């Protein structure tokens, strides 16, 4: 999921840049604005997904540490 969002964010960023570079009138700049906003929102979603993955890894590491500490205390 994270990788898919990261790729989508990069593609959307490239599309937004292309639209900006080819805009000649106000209508083109309006589309460029929309494309940039979409790219930004996908980037935000990608960042949130990455944060959730990091939190889950941290929780698993802490659980493993607690289990290891309990195993040592029982010996």
Q: What is the pLDDT of residue 1?
A: 79
Q: What is the pLDDT of residue 28?
A: 92
Find tokens 């930004």 and name the residue: 40
Asked whether the beta carbons of 35 and 19 are under 8 A apart, the reply is: yes
- Report pLDDT digits (tens) over 13-68: 999 999 999 999 999 999 999 999 999 999 999 999 999 999 999 999 999 999 88
Q: What is the pLDDT of residue 72?
A: 81
Considering the entire predicted model, what is its pTM? 0.78
Would you say how long the chain is, in residues?
75
């Amino acid at each position: 999921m994270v990788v898919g969002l990261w790729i989508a964010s990069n593609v959307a960023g490239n599309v937004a840049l292309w639209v900006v570079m080819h805009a000649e009138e106000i209508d083109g700049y309006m589309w460029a604005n929309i494309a940039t906003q979409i790219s930004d929102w996908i980037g935000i979603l990608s960042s949130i997904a990455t944060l959730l993955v990091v939190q889950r890894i941290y929780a698993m590491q802490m659980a493993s540490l607690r289990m290891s500490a309990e195993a040592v205390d029982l010996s």
